[in-house]
A and B are shown apart, each in its own frame.
Chain A
Amino acid sequence: MKEYMKKLFILPVIGLLLFSACNDLDIAPKNVITDDDLMTNEAGMEIYLARMYSYMPFEDFKYMAQWGVNYNSWLGAMGIEGTGEALNRDGICTAFTGENTPYWGQAFTLLRDANHLLETLPKYKNNFKEETYNHYLGEAYFVRATVFYAMARRFGGVPLVTKEIQYPADADKLEVPRSTEKETWDQVLADFNSADSLLLPKSPKTGYANKYVALSFKSEAMLYAGCVAKYNETVSGRLTGFGQKTGVRVIGFAEDEWQAASIKYFTEAYKAAKKVMKDGGYSLYKKKWSATDKDAQYQNMVDMFSDLTSPENIYVKEYSYPTLTHGFDAYSAPFIFRSPLASGTCPTLDFLELFEGFDRYPDGTIKVTTGNANNQGNYIMYDKPLDFFKNAEPRLRAYVIFPGDVFKGKTIDIRAGVYTGSAPINPLFSDYSYNNATTLYQHLPAYKQTPKTLYLSPREGNSQETVSYNGTTMTAGGENGPFYDNGEACLTGLYDRKWLNPDPSFVAGEGKSDQPFILMRYAEVLLNAAEAAVELSLAGVSSPDDDDLLQVATDAVNQIRERAGATLLTSKLTATVDGRNIVRKERRKELALEHKTKWDLRRWRVWHYEGRDGFWGETRNKDLYSNSSRFRFRGLYPFFSTATGKYFFDAHFQWVSQKTFEYNIIDYYFAIPSGEVSKSLYIDQQPNR
C-alpha cells in the first residue's frame, strides 16, 4: 500500500514536468543554413555557387560517356565511345547511344538551385555592389543555360523549368511537359544571352564564370542547335516527331521552320565566337612555339594542357592534390607505368590518318608496304619504329605516344611480334577488309605451324615468347605489348599522351592526379567561328558583321594549323561541302580526346551507316571500316624482322580486346528514362522509340 502511495505521488510530478514549458521553442536552428546566411554576403554566395558548380554537367576527368554524369574518375579514359579517337579493353568502350545515368533527375535539382537564386537574390540586392549582384544573377543564368544545353543535346525538347516550383502543390502544378526542341534551344540561347549581359568580363574569382566563358559555350551550343536543325534533314525520316501524350514536337524541327532556325543559330554561334575573339583577350598558347622547330611545336602543345597561366584557357576545371583529385594517370598511362591499371586510352590508326606526315596509298590510308594497298608489295622497313613517324605533325606527337617515343623519361617500347622469315617480307594477310577483321595474327599459319616464323606473346613476363637474335634473347612482345591475351597492355600500337602528367617524378595512383581539365579553350572558339561562318556561307547568308565569312574561317583554321605545325591553307575556303569539311576535320584533330568529338559526330549526323561517309570530318569510304550499322577501328602494329634487324608496320583492325560499335538513327536522341515516362501524365518518350 505504501508503494502504491508513492507511485501515486511521483507520477503526477512527472506529468507536471511534461507541461512545464512556458516559452515557444522559436530559436533558429544553428545547423540549418538559410537564404539569410548565404545571400547576404559574398562568402555565403561563394558557398552557394560552389554547390552549383560541383553539380554542373561538365565533362572532364570525372566523366565517362557510358556512365553519364556521375562525377567519378574510375577507369578514366578519353574518346573511347565509338568516335574512332581511341579504344579501351572494357565494356565502357561502346558507342555513345545513351548514358547509364541519364542526365535528367540531377538536372532538375540544379535548375532548382539556379531558379532559386534568380528569384531570391533580388531581395538581398542591397547587400552587394551592383556589378557583383548582376554577376551572381549571370552565374545563375549560365548554370541554367548549361543544364538546358546538356539536356537538349541528349534529348531534344525537354521540360523548361524556368521558375522555382513550390512544393507541395497539386500534381498539375508540379509537372512540366517537354517543350519543342526549337523552344528548348531558344531557351538555351536566351539564358546564355542573359548570362552574357550580366556577367563580369573577368571572373571575380578562379572558377567563376565570366562574360566570355558564357559566350564561348554559347557558340558551342548554338553550333549544335544549328546543325540539328539542318542535318536532321539529311537523315531518313527527317528525324522529327510529336510526343504521344502532349502532341508537342519534342524532337526535330517543322519542315517550314528548320531552315530559318538553323541560320538563326549559326548566326548566334558566329557572333558569340567573334565577340570572344575580338574582346576576350585570349590567344593560342605559344609559349615555347617556334616557327622553325618541330620539337618546340610539339613540346608547346604538350605543355599547354597543364599550364594554368595559358592565355588559351577560357574555362578550366582545376584539381588540387590531395583534396580534389582524379585518377586519369592511373588508368590511361602506358603499361609499364600501370598503377593499378593502364592502357585505357589507345588511339586508333584511323585517327592517326587524319594527320599529316605519312606516306599514303592511293585511297588515302597510311602506307606500310611498297604496293598500292596494304595487302600488296613488301613491307617498308625502318631502322627503329620512331622513324615511321619522323615527319608526323607535331600536334599528333603531342596527343599520341608513338612506339619508341619517350614518355616520363622512358622509351615506350611497343612491339606486336618478331618475324623470323626471310626478307623482303610479304604482307602477313591477303585480306585486310572489314569482313576479315576477326582473323588475327595468332590465327596465321606463320604463327601456328612448326617451325614458325612469327612470334607473338599472349601475356607479359614469363608468358612472353622469346627469339634468339644476335646472341641475345629477344621477347616477342614489347614491354608495353601488345599481348594477344592481355587487354591491359597496348591495344592498337599507340598510346594517348594528352592529359597525362609528363613529370618523370610523378608517381601515378588512384586519386593521385591533379592536372587541370580545360573545358573551354580559345582554339575551340576559333573553330566554332570557322564552322558557323562556313555554314552561313553554305546557306547563302551575308555576313552578320562586316568581316568576310570565309576569310574569318580561313584565318581561324590557319591560326590553329600554324600552332600545330601543320601545312597552312594557301587559298581561301570555299562555300562548299569540301570547305566545310576542312573545318570539320581540323576540329576533329585539334579537339580530339577532349570529350568533344562525340557531340560533333552527333550534331553532324554522321554516325549512322547512311551518313557515315562523313564520320571523319573529311569524306572517307565508310565500307572500309563498317558494315551496315556496325563499325570497327584499326591499329598500327610494329613487328621486328630478325632477317634484316629492322622494323615493319602492319595496319590491321583492332587486334586485342576487339570492339565492334553500332550506331543507329534513333540514337541521335537518347531515350527519356522510362521511369520518368511511366510515372508522369506529361513526360513524353521519344516518338521514334
Chain B
Amino acid sequence: MKRIAFYLLFCGLFSFSSCSLFELDNYDAPSETLKGEVVDVATGEPVLTDQGSEGIRVRLTELSWGENVTPNPDFYCMADGTFQNTKIFKGTYNIRIDGPFIPIIREDERGVPIADETKTVEIKGTTVVRFEVQPFLKVEWVGEPTVTNGKIKAKVRVTRAVSEADFQAKIEPMGGYSSTFLNVTDIQLFVSYSSSVGYRARDDRWSSKIEYSGSSFNALLGQPVTIESNGTIPSGRTVFVRAASRINYDTPKGSGTRRWNYSEPVQVMIP
C-alpha cells in the first residue's frame, strides 16, 4: 500500500514536470486596432466603396516573419471609405490598399518598383492611418431621385477625379498601356432594401445599369445621365439606392476586377 502511494506520488510529480508550471501556455489574443480612411488627395473627400471583394481591399503583411511572408487574410473597406480591424496581433505591418484609384504600389513590367505609397506601421493599441489616393471617377447625384409607378429615376453625374494626363503619366510606366483604360464602361444603379446597398447587397429585380462601348461615354463626362430602375418596386416600401461607375482598368493589375467608384446612398420611399 505504501509502495503504491509512493508510485502515485512519483507519477504525479512527472505530470508537473513541464517547463513553466505556473505560466499560462498561451499567446495573447489579438486585440490591437487598426483604423483607416481612404480619401481623395485633391479634395479630402472619402473614397466611397462597397464592402466586398469588389470594393477597396485592405491587405496587411506582418513583417517580423522574415523573408517569406504571406499576407494576413484580406479585409475590405466599409461603404464610407473607412476601415477598422480590432483583432490584430501587435507587430509591424505593411498596409496596402487596392481600389478604384491610381494603384499606390506601382511596378514596371519586370517588377521593378516605380512608386510605393503603402504604409508600414507598428500596430499597437489603436493605430490610425490615412491613405490619400487619386480615385478614377467621382459619382454624384444630380437632384433627388424621383419615383413613378414603382420605378426610380435618378440623375447621375460622373466626372474624372484624376486627369487623363495624370492617369497616363502614372499608369503608362507600368507597361502594356492602352488609352482604352480611361474609357468609362458603365453606370450602375443599385437598389436594395438594405442601407448597405451596393454591388453585393443589390436586389437583382430592380437594380439596373447602362453600358457604354469604347470611348462613347466621354461626351457624357460631367453631364447628368438619367438612369431608371428595373421592374416595379412594391409601393409602401423604403429602398436605398446608390449609383456607381467604373473605368476600363482593373486593380490590382491583372486581377481583372474593375472596381466601381460610388455615390452616397440615398433613401427612397416608394409611394
Q: Which residues from 18 to 34 on chain B have a C-beta closer than 8 Å to any C-beta of chain A?
A: none
Inter-chain contact B253/A237, CB cutoff 8 Å = yes
Q: Which residues from 302 to 358 on chain A have a C-beta closer than 8 Å to any C-beta of chain B?
A: none
Partner of A238, one of B68, B176, B257: B176
Cα A128 to Cα B176 with chains together (Å): 55
Cα A32 to Cα B184 with chains together (Å): 68
Q: Mark A667-689, 1 if CB is under 8 A from B, else 0.
A: 00000001001111100010111
Q: Which residues of A contact B250 (CB under 8 A)?
A: 236-237, 665
A576 within 8 A of B: no
Inter-chain contact A678/B68, CB cutoff 8 Å = yes
Inter-chain contact B176/A437, CB cutoff 8 Å = no
Inter-chain contact B205/A435, CB cutoff 8 Å = yes
Q: Which residues from 224 to 249 on chain B have a C-beta closer than 8 Å to any C-beta of chain A?
A: 230-231, 248-249
Once A434-B204, A435-B204, A435-B206 are accepted as A-B contacts, the answer to whether A237 and B255 lie under 8 Å apart by CB is yes
Q: Which residues of A contact B249 (CB under 8 A)?
A: 236
Shortest distance from the beta carbon of A32 to any chain B beta carbon, whole Å: 37
Q: Which residues of B contact A431 (CB under 8 A)?
A: 231
Inter-chain contact B110/A247, CB cutoff 8 Å = yes
Inter-chain contact B256/A627, CB cutoff 8 Å = no
B44 within 8 A of A: no
* Residue in B199, B207, B253 with the greatest tally of chain A CB atoms within 10 Å: B253
Q: Which residues from 418 to 437 on chain A have a C-beta closer than 8 Å to any C-beta of chain B?
A: 431, 434-437
Cα A689 to Cα B71 with chains together (Å): 11
Q: Which residues from 111 to 131 on chain B have a C-beta closer than 8 Å to any C-beta of chain A?
A: 111
Shortest distance from the beta carbon of A606 to any chain B beta carbon, whole Å: 13
Inter-chain contact B70/A239, CB cutoff 8 Å = no
Inter-chain contact A627/B204, CB cutoff 8 Å = yes
Q: Which residues of B contact A240 (CB under 8 A)?
A: 254
Name which residue of chain A comes closest to B54, CB basis: A629
A274 within 8 A of B: no
Inter-chain contact B204/A237, CB cutoff 8 Å = no
Q: Which residues of B contact A241 (CB under 8 A)?
A: 253-254
The number of chain A residues with a CB under 8 A from chain B is 36
Name which residue of chain B comes closest to A437, CB basis: B204
Inter-chain contact B255/A689, CB cutoff 8 Å = yes
A463 within 8 A of B: no
Q: Mark A475-495, 1 if CB is under 8 A from B, else 0.
A: 000000000000000000000
Inter-chain contact A677/B254, CB cutoff 8 Å = no
Q: Which residues of A contact B111 (CB under 8 A)?
A: 242, 247
Cα A685 to Cα B252 with chains together (Å): 14
The prevalent SS among residues of A at the interface is loop
Cα A28 to Cα B253 with chains together (Å): 59
Shortest distance from the beta carbon of B154 to any chain A beta carbon, whole Å: 17
A127 within 8 A of B: no
Partner of A688, one of B199, B207, B252: B252
Q: Mark A242-283, 1 if CB is under 8 A from B, else 0.
A: 100101000110010000000000000000000000000000
Cα A677 to Cα B70 with chains together (Å): 7
Partner of B199, one of A245, A628, A679, A689: A628
Q: Which residues of B contact A628 (CB under 8 A)?
A: 199
The number of chain B residues with a CB under 8 A from chain A is 24
Inter-chain contact A435/B231, CB cutoff 8 Å = yes
Once A242-B111, A437-B204 are accepted as A-B contacts, the answer to whether A235 and B231 lie under 8 Å apart by CB is no
Partner of B256, one of A434, A436, A688: A688
Partner of B258, one of A236, A438, A681: A236
Once A436-B231, A438-B205, A628-B199 are accepted as A-B contacts, the answer to whether A238 and B254 lie under 8 Å apart by CB is yes
Shortest distance from the beta carbon of A443 to any chain B beta carbon, whole Å: 12
Cα A431 to Cα B206 with chains together (Å): 12
Q: Mark B63-96, 1 if CB is under 8 A from A, else 0.
A: 0000110100000000000000000000000000
Name which residue of chain B comes closest to A689, CB basis: B255
Inter-chain contact B256/A236, CB cutoff 8 Å = yes
Q: Which residues of B contact A435 (CB under 8 A)?
A: 204-207, 230-231
A666 within 8 A of B: yes
Q: Which residues of A contact B204 (CB under 8 A)?
A: 434-435, 437-438, 627
A135 within 8 A of B: no
A608 within 8 A of B: yes
Inter-chain contact B70/A687, CB cutoff 8 Å = no
Cα A431 to Cα B150 with chains together (Å): 15
Inter-chain contact A681/B206, CB cutoff 8 Å = no
A120 within 8 A of B: no
A41 within 8 A of B: no
Q: Which residues from 184 to 225 on chain B have a C-beta closer than 8 Å to any C-beta of chain A?
A: 199, 204-207
Cα A166 to Cα B207 with chains together (Å): 60
Shortest distance from the beta carbon of A670 to any chain B beta carbon, whole Å: 14
Shortest distance from the beta carbon of B42 to any chain A beta carbon, whole Å: 26
Inter-chain contact B231/A681, CB cutoff 8 Å = no
Name which residue of chain A comes closest to B175, CB basis: A255
Inter-chain contact B70/A678, CB cutoff 8 Å = yes
Inter-chain contact A681/B68, CB cutoff 8 Å = yes
Cα A475 to Cα B15 with chains together (Å): 70
Inter-chain contact B256/A665, CB cutoff 8 Å = yes
Name which residue of chain A comes closest to B69, CB basis: A678
Q: Which residues of A contact B252 (CB under 8 A)?
A: 688
A411 within 8 A of B: no
Q: Which residues of A contact B175 (CB under 8 A)?
A: 255
A162 within 8 A of B: no
Inter-chain contact B256/A666, CB cutoff 8 Å = yes
Cα A678 to Cα B175 with chains together (Å): 29
Cα A431 to Cα B230 with chains together (Å): 11
Cα A680 to Cα B68 with chains together (Å): 7
Q: Which residues of A contact B206 (CB under 8 A)?
A: 435
Once A237-B250, A436-B205, A438-B205 are accepted as A-B contacts, the answer to whether A681 and B67 lie under 8 Å apart by CB is yes
* Residue in A236, A238, A438, A679 with the greatest tally of chain B CB atoms within 10 Å: A236
Q: Which residues of B contact A608 (CB under 8 A)?
A: 256
Once A242-B111, A435-B205, A678-B70 are accepted as A-B contacts, the answer to whether A665 and B176 lie under 8 Å apart by CB is no
A559 within 8 A of B: no
Cα A416 to Cα B190 with chains together (Å): 34
Q: Which residues of A contact B231 (CB under 8 A)?
A: 431, 435-436
Q: Which residues of A contact B176 (CB under 8 A)?
A: 238, 255
Q: Which residues of B contact A255 (CB under 8 A)?
A: 175-176
Name which residue of chain A comes closest to B255, CB basis: A688
Cα A687 to Cα B68 with chains together (Å): 15
Cα A685 to Cα B255 with chains together (Å): 13
A664 within 8 A of B: yes
Inter-chain contact B255/A666, CB cutoff 8 Å = yes
Q: Which residues of B contact A665 (CB under 8 A)?
A: 250, 255-257
Shortest distance from the beta carbon of A7 to any chain B beta carbon, whole Å: 20
Once A431-B231, A628-B199 are accepted as A-B contacts, the answer to whether A687 and B254 lie under 8 Å apart by CB is yes
Name which residue of chain B comes closest to A681, CB basis: B68
Shortest distance from the beta carbon of A256 to any chain B beta carbon, whole Å: 11
The contact sample of 6 A-B pairs, CB cut-off 8 A, is A235-B256, A237-B254, A608-B256, A665-B250, A674-B70, A680-B68
Which 9 pairs across A and B sit closest by C-beta, in order of nearness? A665-B256, A688-B254, A678-B70, A688-B255, A241-B254, A237-B250, A242-B111, A237-B254, A247-B111
- List A residues at the B interface (Cβ < 8 Å): 235-242, 245, 247, 251-252, 255, 431, 434-439, 608, 627-628, 664-666, 674, 677-681, 685, 687-689
Beyond contacts A242-B111, A608-B256: 18 other A-B pairs, Cβ-Cβ < 8 A, are: A235-B256, A236-B256, A237-B253, A242-B110, A434-B204, A435-B206, A627-B204, A628-B199, A665-B255, A665-B256, A665-B257, A674-B70, A678-B70, A679-B68, A687-B254, A688-B252, A688-B254, A688-B255
